[in-house]
Chains A and B, each alone.
Chain A
Amino acid sequence: MQREIKQQIERLQAAGATYVDARWYPFEEANFLMMWNGNLKNTTSTRESGMGVRVLYKGAWGFSASSDLSSLNALFDKAFDNARIAAERVTFPIRLAEKDAIQAAFESPCKINPFEVPLAEKVAFLKEMDEKMNQAGVFQRRGDLTFMRKKIVFIDSEGSEIEKLITEVFATLEVSGVDEQGVTHERKFRLNKTADTRGWESIDRRIFSENAERIVKEMNEVLKAEPCPKEDRSVILLPGIMFLQTHETIGHALELDRILGYELAFAGGSFVTLDDFGSLRYGSEKLTARADATLPNTPGSFGFDDDGVPAQNNVLIDKGILVGAITGRQMVEEANAKARKQIFQGSGGTNRANAFYRVPIERMTNINIDPGSDGTLEDIIKNTEKGIIMDGDRSWSIGSNREQFHFATEIAWLVEDGQVKQVVKNPTYKGATVKFWNSLSAVGDQSTWQMQYVDNCGKGQPNQIMQLGHGVPVCRFDQVRIGE
């Protein structure tokens, strides 16, 4: 197949294409199990294979995909035809940042292939967790397991040939209960990084059992709690909500295609402009954020992106100042040209597609906040006069330019004079992005830092669901409006 792909690429180059690549998926398989109140409601496996072809012609992209590889001629020709018509409406001819021709392979670290684990063993795990969550106060209990494994062969017209084998594991436990007013409250646990490999071995019964007990206990506390007050407080975000704050108001806001207006028809833009790089005080001096796709074992580490660029670790915000973006080959060239200066040195290696039939776009890798020097969670609490600790994503909504947000969390604990006080229910907080990050007053140390997994980030048209990660510490923000 590789030889045939190369022949097709050469054929289109001879016909005038300036760049061609193909992503051949010999296979992509997934396995999803979901147990709800003891019922195995969903046991689904999927398998697909096919190829996506991207062609650059006279500064415009064409893309085509098919699971039918009996006629590569037709597939490549269709992609070329799509590029030809796109070339009739070009305002900034696409150029791709330089990269090396790479012949390499990448395999995500995995000890036990989850697709070789018997179904009965997976079901037994869910049953065990279901029984652990089946306690007083629990109205609904849910456990799910998601496994993905895909092989991707990337070949381009610049001499790159990369083979990747990626295994993903996601798991969630969730309970809900109903309070005296008839309002439902949820509490969940999502698998996050616990080791340097990610296969079936990630499904550690001890960790899940402990967390099953914890979420039941905390959910029951919420059921008896008073409502969250409506006022301004210091908000202490635990990693279970801090990851989403980072995702929505740093990650998406710093995707360079959004900044350049490529998502305005759907997902939205960004308040960030090209003039802001190097000068915008995005947050307080305690904020350093990075896009790090080099960490072992996270959904945001993939070896090479779908432009064939190696994974990188790039600073986005350095001590509060905006310095970088989430970038691929196309956008950095356009951004530098439009800014009339070299803001970006090259691709950040973040262009990814979620399937063979989707085109690569700029996606978050692991968008992380560096741990700080404000000690442990206990230290931060001790130094907080009037605060609230929040955890667990319940609802999130962000302005179209990522300029403002509203989050609801599953649980919160009030803090008074350095002491944790009572749990409150229906906690929410809201803010304006830059003001909020500039109110960052404490960043927890390494003991508070957790790598959280995200398996459902949506972006693009046609829409693509992507997997990624967020390594975040506990953070405190001052004068934040809560309870609305």
Chain B
Amino acid sequence: MKEKILNILRDLRSYALKKGYEVTIFYHEEDSYLMRFANSAISLNTNEHLIRLEITAYVGNRRASYELITNLDKVDEMKQGIDVAAEMAQHAQPLNYQPTIPALTESFADESSFDPALAQISNEERLAFFNHAVAGLETEDIKLSGVFTNGANTIAQITTRSAHTQYFKTSDAQVTAVLAHSKLKWEVQSEQSAQEKSDLDPDLAHAELAFLLAKYQQSNSLQLPLGSYKIVFGAAATADMLNIMNWIGFSGGSLKRGFSFLNEAQVGQRVFSEKFSMVDDPSRRETFPFQYDLAGIERKPFKIFENGVFKGFTWYQDDADEFGATPTGHNVMHKSLVVGAGSQAVNSLEELVALPRTEDILYIPFLHYMNIVNPSKGIFTASSRFGALLLKKDGSVEVPFNVRVTQSLFDIFGDKLEWLSSATVAYNTSSSYGARNPTALIVPMFTCVNNLEISHSNTSY
């Protein structure tokens, strides 16, 4: 199949060259499966096989794109798409900069992240995972929700600037299991990210759900008073905050458009806690990495923060073209963000709960509906969800109703950062918006921050 795809791309390139066009041709194929659960039943079982072709044509500094959903046997339709893109580019307004047309200097193919066994998990296996993960945990009131999505993703690219091709094939699975009380409306959750089939661990999901379920069934519930708390964020919450930072923090394009809380004068300066380091590391397979970016630049580990010092902005090719910056190999569908492990020896929620403590700790595993209140200050807002716990200083545990946190990322990862756990985890942040794009960050399992305000506290679940 790989050769068939690449041969079609070569054929399309030849067609474009014959017509005198300058184009990039980007191929995206997904074979996606999704089983969704609600009210302890399968509420949706679906699959889709889609091939998208995106053609970008250039006429001098004019540029236009045409995207179609197509099939491999519709080469004529693809060629028509090239004609449409080229025609559109003729009529586009010139940019005031010269966009770079990728000139791939060598061919590259990476199928190392493709596990056919994961891509082809059957309906029966998806169902069996969930049956195992919640065995004995459901009741008349406690219902299973969740999603198991897996599939194969193929990306390929060619341009008229060279005959070289890029080809990436990945398999992935993202699993979320939720147990929710249908009357009280609390929810506990276990999530997994898989890059190969052996990553899937229904026993672990069961253990995580059982632990949280016991806490929620046996502990007192309470409305937390507003005020400052020591908060331990789980991996999901941390990953979500870092995704926001990726957008409004260290993106060169966001900086130039006034949508960043970091600025050029801060490069080389300490902006966060010395405990915080983050690198974009395409060698980490758990992040579904790109070894080359789509402009053909070989990607190497790129330090973003080292012991709190801001090392530099990342640049998409088009932003670099527009603002005269040097591209950094970040013309990718997602980065491979890896946060350095901390020193706090805690490897599971059970260990966190058992950790000796001299004050109450609010554990927030997940932040719901995060949004940016003030990008220039790095301020976001979100609510806790999916299994928050109040770890009392006397060693007991209570279950708080959800709370809202409205804070600056400077506070979270700055001087208020107390510790990061030594254990890290690949947290899958793939979205099911648009084309399949498996994405994960490697983050500490737990991130402890002192003295954070909660600005709203629910009166019930």
Chain B 404-461 interface residues, beta-carbon cutoff 8 Å to A: 404, 406, 431-433, 455-456, 458-461
Q: Give, as a whole number of angstroms, the nearest-CB distance from A156 to chain B.
A: 18
Smallest CB-CB A-B distances: 3 pairs: A48-B69, A462-B432, A85-B123
* Contact with A359, one of B40, B44, B65 (Cβ below 8 angstroms): B44
* Contact with A81, one of B66, B94, B123, B433 (Cβ below 8 angstroms): B123
Contacts of B45 in A (CB 8 A): 60-63, 82-83, 85-86
21 contacts between A and B (CB under 8 A): A40-B63, A44-B64, A46-B67, A70-B73, A85-B123, A85-B124, A89-B37, A176-B257, A183-B374, A184-B259, A184-B375, A265-B145, A266-B176, A396-B371, A399-B404, A399-B458, A404-B456, A406-B373, A430-B404, A461-B34, A484-B406
Contact with B along A69-107 (1 / 0, CB 8 A): 010000000100111011011111000000000000000
The reply to whether A426 and B147 form a contact with Cβ atoms under 8 Å apart is no
Interface size class, chain A: 35 or more
Distance of A359 Cα from B39 Cα, bound (Å)? 18
B354 interface hit (Cβ, 8 Å): no
What does DSSP make chain B's interface, helix, strand, loop or mixed? strand
Contact with B along A264-275 (1 / 0, CB 8 A): 111011010000
Task: List the count of A-B residue pairs having beta carbons below 8 Å apart.
Answer: 241
The reply to whether A265 and B38 form a contact with Cβ atoms under 8 Å apart is yes
A38 interface hit (Cβ, 8 Å): yes
The reply to whether B70 and A82 form a contact with Cβ atoms under 8 Å apart is no
* Contact with B402, one of A40, A182, A399 (Cβ below 8 angstroms): A399
Contacts of A426 in B (CB 8 A): 374
Distance of A399 Cα from B185 Cα, bound (Å)? 12
**A interface with B by C-beta (< 8 Å):** 35-36, 38-50, 60-68, 70, 78, 81-83, 85-86, 88-92, 118-120, 123, 126-127, 139-140, 176, 178, 182-184, 260-266, 268-269, 271, 357, 359, 394-401, 403-404, 406, 408, 426, 428, 430, 432, 458, 461-463, 465, 484
* Contact with A357, one of B48, B63, B322, B458 (Cβ below 8 angstroms): B48
Q: Give, as a whole number of angstroms, the nearest-CB distance from A55 to chain B.
A: 10
Q: Give, as a whole number of angstroms, the nearest-CB distance from B84 to chain A.
A: 7
B32 interface hit (Cβ, 8 Å): yes
Contact with A along B30-49 (1 / 0, CB 8 A): 00101111111111111111
The reply to whether B41 and A60 form a contact with Cβ atoms under 8 Å apart is yes
The reply to whether B369 and A408 form a contact with Cβ atoms under 8 Å apart is no
Distance of A265 Cα from B35 Cα, bound (Å)? 12
Beyond known contacts A260-B39, A265-B176, A403-B460: 20 more, CB 8 A cutoff: A39-B322, A40-B92, A40-B93, A45-B88, A64-B48, A67-B70, A70-B73, A82-B123, A85-B45, A119-B92, A176-B257, A176-B258, A398-B383, A400-B368, A404-B383, A404-B456, A428-B373, A461-B36, A461-B44, A463-B433
Distance of A28 Cα from B232 Cα, bound (Å)? 47
Contacts of B178 in A (CB 8 A): 264-265
The reply to whether B404 and A406 form a contact with Cβ atoms under 8 Å apart is yes
Contacts of A428 in B (CB 8 A): 373
Contacts of B146 in A (CB 8 A): 265
B89 closest partner in A (C-beta)? A43
What does DSSP make chain A's interface, helix, strand, loop or mixed? mixed
B370 interface hit (Cβ, 8 Å): yes
Q: Give, as a whole number of angstroms, the nearest-CB distance from B263 to chain A.
A: 8
Q: Give, as a whole number of angstroms, the nearest-CB distance from B7 to chain A.
A: 19
B358 interface hit (Cβ, 8 Å): no
Known: A140-B258, A268-B368, A395-B373. A123 touches B91 (CB 8 A): yes
Distance of A83 Cα from B63 Cα, bound (Å)? 45
B36 closest partner in A (C-beta)? A461
Of A50, A88, A176, A400, most B-chain CB atoms within 10 Å:
A400
B176 closest partner in A (C-beta)? A265
Q: Give, as a whole number of angstroms, the nearest-CB distance from B122 to chain A.
A: 9
The reply to whether B369 and A398 form a contact with Cβ atoms under 8 Å apart is yes
Distance of A52 Cα from B96 Cα, bound (Å)? 43
Q: Give, as a whole number of angstroms, the nearest-CB distance from A457 to chain B.
A: 12
Contacts of A262 in B (CB 8 A): 38-39, 43
Contacts of B96 in A (CB 8 A): 38-39
